[in-house]
Amino acid sequence: MKLFKTKKGNIVFFKGNSYKLLSKDWDILLNNDQLYKELIQQCIEPNRLSLSEKELNNIALPPIKSQEVWASGVTYFKSKTARMEESKESGGSTFYDKVYDAERPELFFKSTADRVRGPFQTVRIRKDSMWSVPEPELTLVLTRNQKLIGYSIGNDMSARDIEGENPLYLPQAKSYTGSAALGPCILVTERVIDPRTIISMEIIRTNEVIFEGRTQVAEIKRSFSELIHFLFKEMDFPNGCFLMTGTGIVPDENFTLQQKDQIKINIEGIGTLQNEVG
């Protein structure tokens, strides 16, 4: 089932119908280890609305309130090779193959909730970057007890020139206002996502598709439990958190985003997250 935070309240879309939730506090919802069961109980006739999934997508807000957004890096082979290439002149490339094989994954802080953009809102490229890309990432939704309650779509906007110049610049390459997008909903499920799930991205410039790429969840090198374990090792998340799982789609080196580009990220079973670069 899909959980939407919207301008009309918190709404569940389940088996073709939408239901208004009585639970109003997003932080309480996202911290419920039994969220799936709780939502099923609220999918009853008196709560039924007549909103289609398309209408929900159009009124969806970023599915976040007080959670932090963290991200995993170099979890796909494609990400490893692309970063090695971008940082070979700075001498930083060797860090990426090491972290790909290391026991400890790369995890980094991505965004506070107020800097996150939702469906159809604008994401940003840094003014001091000449080479910026979107990173489409399956995103885990975790309670304070490390319980994986659902999945969303994330965009880890990144300044590749700044990251490539020196790996120590990673926080500047990755974290700035409007550098993270989430949405359109949270797929709440008790099942682990199917590894064959396709993640795809299109970038559209003046009505023309100028980039298309796809990967699948099975390409992620690390297990979710491994990523969650390291994230929570020495950190508590009283409101739960979002964890992006890394990118396996990397546009060619000569590609950089421009103002007004439309970024569409689709993950099967979750939906499409669309943002304009603004």
Q: Which residues bind ligand DO4 (CB under 6 A)?
A: 71, 73-75, 79, 83, 106, 135, 156, 163, 170, 246-247
Task: Give me the helix-helix angle, 77-86 and 93-101, nearest 10°.
Answer: 160
Interface residue with Mg ion, options 156, 163, 202, 261 (CB under 5 A) = 156
| Phi/psi at 54 (5° precision) | -60, -45
**Minimum gap (Å) between residue 213 Cβ and ligand DO4:** 13
What residues contact 236, with CB distance under 8 A and at least 6 apart?
144
Interface residue with Mg ion, options 75, 247, 274, 275 (CB under 5 A) = 247
**Minimum gap (Å) between residue 156 Cβ and Mg ion:** 4
User: Which partner in ligand DO4, Mg ion, none is near 40 (CB below 5 to 8 A by kind)?
Assistant: none
Please give the size of the binding site for Mg ion, defined by CB under 5 A: 3
**CB distance 243 to 139 below 8 Å:** yes
**Minimum gap (Å) between residue 39 Cβ and ligand DO4:** 30
- How far is the C-alpha of 73 from the C-alpha of 61, rounded, in Å? 26
Nearest residue to ligand DO4, by Cβ distance, number only: 73
Q: Which residue number, 120 or 169, has a Cβ lying nearer to ligand DO4?
A: 169
**CB distance 192 to 140 below 8 Å:** no
- How far is the C-alpha of 50 from the C-alpha of 270, rounded, in Å? 20
Q: Hey, what are 237's tokens?
A: 């998340």
Site stretch for Mg ion (CB under 5 A), options 107-115, 153-161, 215-223, 261-269: 153-161
CA distances from 187 to 47, 69, 140, 210 (A): 19, 17, 10, 29
Asked if the bond preceding 184 is cis, omega within 30° of 0, the reply is yes
CA distances from 258 to 239, 266, 274 (A): 35, 20, 15
User: Which partner in Mg ion, ligand DO4, none is near 68 (CB below 5 to 8 A by kind)?
Assistant: none
Tallying the residues shown for the chain, one arrives at 278
**Minimum gap (Å) between residue 15 Cβ and ligand DO4:** 34
**Minimum gap (Å) between residue 74 Cβ and ligand DO4:** 5
In 3-state terms, what secondary structure has residue 269? coil
**Minimum gap (Å) between residue 186 Cβ and Mg ion:** 19
Q: Which residue number, 188 or 265, has a Cβ lying nearer to ligand DO4?
A: 265
In 3-state terms, what secondary structure has residue 187? strand
Interface residue with Mg ion, options 135, 163, 202, 261 (CB under 5 A) = 135
Site stretch for Mg ion (CB under 5 A), options 57-65, 123-131, 135-143, 256-264: 135-143
Q: Which residue number, 183 or 246, has a Cβ lying nearer to ligand DO4?
A: 246
Residues in contact with Mg ion by the rule CB under 5 A? 135, 156, 247
